[in-house]
Amino acid sequence: MAKTLGKTDLINQVAKTAKIEKTKAKAAVDATINVITGTLKKGGKVQLTGFGTFGVARRKKRTGVNPQTGAKITIPPRKVPKFTAGKTLKDIVGK
């Protein structure tokens, strides 16, 4: 079974792979996440060739059902983060 890589694990792997201090790896990971998040918040997208594209999808208003009461409810429109894997990533994972 594959291991789930948490943020601390990611920072440790970045530090090891890039041969840098963990504090610098943490700063780099945090900065990357902040840039991606900030760009998406403004409605933009981040394209990392070969890896994938982070973007924003818009969901339309829809009708749902409250599972506790069975009552119909209206779910308002909203924006949600979206990730589309790039060809290289798909090829690597598909092997």
Print the SS3 string covering 26-77. HHHHHHHHHHHHHHHHCCCCEEECCCEEEEEEEECCEEEECCCCCCEEEECC
Q: For residue range 43-59, what is the model confidence (pLDDT) as tens digits?
A: 999 999 999 999 999 99
Q: For residue range 15-35, what is the model confidence (pLDDT) as tens digits?
A: 999 999 999 999 999 999 999
Residue 90: its pLDDT value, please? 95
With a threshold of 0.85, does the pTM exceed it? no
51, exposed or middle or buried, with CB in 10 Å at 0-12, 13-18, 19+?
A: middle
Quote the tokens at residue 55.
């973007």
Could you give the domains of the chain? Answer: 1-42 (no CATH), 45-95 (4.10.520.10)
